[in-house]
Amino acid sequence: MKTSIATVSISGDLREKLAAIAAAGFDGVEIFENDFLAFDGTPAEVGRMVRDHGLEITLFQPFRDFEGMPEPQRARAFDRAERKFDLMAELGTDLMLVCSNVSPVSLGGIDRAAADFRELGVRAAKRGLRVGYEALAWGRHVSDHRDAWEIVRRADHPNIGVILDSFHTLARRIDPDTIRAIPGDRIFIVQLADAPRIDMDLLYWSRHFRNMPGQGDLPVVDFMRAVAATGYDGPLSLEIFNDQFRGGSPKSISIDGRRSLVYLMDQVARHEPAIAIDVPSIPDRIQVEGIEFVEFAADEQEAEELGGLFETMGFAATARHRNKDVTLYRQGGINLVVNTERDGFAHSSYIVHGTSAYAIGLRVADAAATVERARALGAEIFEQRRGPGELAIPAIRGVGGGVIYFIDRLTARVWDVEFEALPSSPDADAGLIGIDHIAQTMNYEEMLTWILFYTSIFRTRKSPMVDVVDPSGLVRSQVIESADGALRLTLNGAENRRTLAGHFIAETFGSSVQHLAFSTGDIFETAARFRERGFVPLKIPPNYFDDVEARFGLDPALTERLRAFDIFYDRDEAGEFFQFYSENFNEGFFFEIVERRGPYAGYGAPNAPFRIAAQKRSTRPSGLPKG
């Protein structure tokens, strides 16, 4: 698999772009004419710079308004083409992209266009160059790859081929299977882009909202399966026009790009086992079996406050690490680890973010295979020096620089091996069963990165993005979950620091886990036991309950119980949902307790604005009970 990316897809000056692209493992780049305009060097120098980075130039583009012109525009178009051929020779590339004509004076006619391309092919052949023809979704006469291919077929010249671009085909909902009729050796390059499904002008959509395969909603896998069936084995080139990427980090956008292509071809190879596809064989997407633990980094004082809060929720300190300042709190299937070590990664995480949930442990069938897949997809492996007798638990870096550990059969005994049991506390337990979901907060610009990270490594699906209204601005929220609910993540993207989510990011210097939601089988029983233990829930404004009673036609007796324990309510076709919250611990971290009755599929999103408003009103600095 040969991978390429258009330099316009990422930010930075040309040198920064090339360095980031090469470091991410790409083989080549598409060069846009604009790259010269902003760069004070000759095309030959640009070509040299590209090759110095170990990259090749897979394509020069774009050449516009060529085919089907009347005279005198036709002659001028050929003159322009000759000048671009000069430039390509200097640059050191042999392939030029001609996109379908958008000029109002162009005449149309498949044979006329074919004749123009035949002549262009003759001229290109003299210089050893090739020309590919791409149907723009908004082309004046040609806007469909089937017509572009028919023109190429009739041009009947070996130096003229077709260029396929997933955006142009899929944005117009053209059946990608029609590509299977094109001979693979007549496809000169394949450009890839995804996009969120938005109903808008095609040109505007394409220029501003494209994203990496797997980040949007278009069936790019089906498109690529059809391409693979033709026998095409040339470069797969990302051509992504996205305002956010142009303002983002060249390094991380390049890594995302490379990840998207590896993931895409991995899916294609699995769907098309009969086709020989040149793609590294890696373990399939990893099924997460559950969340084994969440680990907090803290100093002694805050560890004590946090432990106190855990105890009001029915947790008990059940074990101490044999050689570290680490305590395990347990209830039901939930393991919370509090690390107050003065060195190691937990400590540096504490120094940067303050007290925070910096690591999560996921249960998988095979941790080594998980890390192998993550590594192939460009994830950063996490390693740290182990103390005597400690198990090697494979891990990678996650959102906000946090750590994701993978626990399998070999390391499941970590609690017995590394920890020593503390005397039991028989009265602890408030009926919590497990971790329902983890909410991670990030800057809005990073959301696509982490959506691709989670969906490409793990067997998960993403829900459509929803907007959550914060009194100070919008927060975007997207759910990543496994089909059986063993892994549920809600990702929140903050657009400004005045929102609760944005404040959390700013104050914790980019920590990611903003809340943990625990599940219970009986929310009223759990809330009552919490109260006995001194837990102070987030206070819900009384108007909420009148509204929810009217909205769902609730029995007033139920509303009364909700009100008594500050419990939010929601319902969908499948079931009911109950939730209540702790007050904030430190800078906006909190806990949530949920009960799902029936296969309710959501996360109480309609309640989020009420919850956020209540949190903003609550001025107490921590979630601790008084006294």
Residues whose CB is less than 8 angstroms from the CB of residue 309 and which lie 6 or more positions away in sequence, other chains included: 535, 582, 585, 591, 623, 624
Handedness of CA 152, 158, 159, 165 (dihedral sign): positive
- Give 378 or 493: the residue with its C-beta nearer to Mg ion: 493
User: Which of 404, 420, 491, 412 has the alpha carbon at shortest distance from 451?
Assistant: 491
The least CB distance from residue 295 to Mg ion, in Å, is 20
Query: Nearest distance from residue 622's CB to Mg ion, in Å?
Result: 20
Q: How far is the CB of 283 from Mg ion (least distance, A)?
A: 31
Residue with tokens 């119980």: 561
As measured in angstroms, the least distance from the Cβ of 522 to Mg ion is 19
Indicate the SS3 state at residue 222. helix
Cβ neighbours of 26 (radius 10 Å): 26
Choose between 35 and 165: whose C-beta lies nearer to Mg ion. Answer: 165
In a 13 Å sphere around the CA of 24, the CA atoms on its Cβ side amount to 28
Between residues 51 and 461, which has the closer beta carbon with respect to Mg ion? 461
What does the alpha-carbon distance between residue 318 and residue 209 come to, in Å, rounded to a whole number?
50
Query: Smallest gap, in angstroms, from Cβ of residue 66 to Mg ion?
Result: 15
Nearer to Mg ion, 418 or 481 (CB): 481
By beta carbon distance, the residue nearest Mg ion is 165
Kindly tell me which of 311 and 592 has the beta carbon lying closer to Mg ion: 592
Minimal distance, residue 589 CB to Mg ion, in Å: 13
Q: Which is nearer to Mg ion, 6 or 221 (CB)?
A: 6
Residue type, 358: Y
Which among 555, 584, 583 is positioned nearest to 569, based on CA atoms? 555
Residue 529, classified by CB atoms within 10 Å of its CB into exposed (0-12), middle (13-18) or buried (19+), is: buried
Helical pair 608-617 and 500-507, crossing angle rounded to 10 deg: 60
Minimum Å gap between C-beta 28 and Mg ion is 15
Nearer to Mg ion, 49 or 102 (CB): 102
In angstroms, give the least distance from the CB of 239 to Mg ion: 5
**Residue 470: how many other CB atoms lie within 10 Å:** 24
In the complex, the smallest distance separating the C-beta of residue 83 from Mg ion, rounded to whole angstroms, is 22
- Closer residue to Mg ion in complex, CB, 129/517: 517
User: What gap in Å lies between CA 238 and CA 190, rounded to an integer?
Assistant: 9
Omega before residue 72 within 30° of 0, cis: yes
In b/e form, how buried is each residue of 477-500, taking b as 16+ CB within 10 angstroms? bbbbbbeeebbbbbbbbbbbbebb
Q: How far is the CB of 89 from Mg ion (least distance, A)?
A: 23
| Closer by beta carbon to Mg ion, 415 or else 580 | 580
CA-based nearest residue to 588, from 622, 541, 553, 625: 622
Minimum gap (Å) between residue 543 Cβ and Mg ion:
22
* Min CB(611)–Mg ion separation in Å: 8
User: Hey, is 87 helix, strand or coil?
Assistant: helix
Positions that interact with Mg ion (CB under 5 A):
165, 191, 239, 517, 592
Q: Which is nearer to Mg ion, 350 or 581 (CB)?
A: 581
Q: How far is CA 204 from the centre of its chain?
A: 23
Cα 237–Cα 243–Cα 248 angle in degrees, nearest 5? 80
Smallest gap from residue 409 Cβ to Mg ion (A): 31
Cα angle: 124, vertex 239, 76; to 5 degrees: 35
What minimum distance in Å lies between the beta carbon of 249 and Mg ion?
A: 24
What is the helix, strand, coil percentage profile of the chain, to 5?
Answer: 40, 25, 35
Amino acid making up residue 349: S
**469 or 550: whose CB is closer to Mg ion?**
469
Nearer to Mg ion, 8 or 81 (CB): 8
End-to-end distance of the chain based on CA atoms, in angstroms?
64
The whole-angstrom separation of Cα 210 and Cα 191 is 12
Q: How far is CA 251 from CA 19, 47, 378, 459, in A?
A: 8, 21, 12, 26
For Mg ion, the closer of residues 375 and 616 by Cβ is: 616
Residue 339 vs 607, nearer CB to Mg ion: 607
Three-class DSSP category at 220:
helix
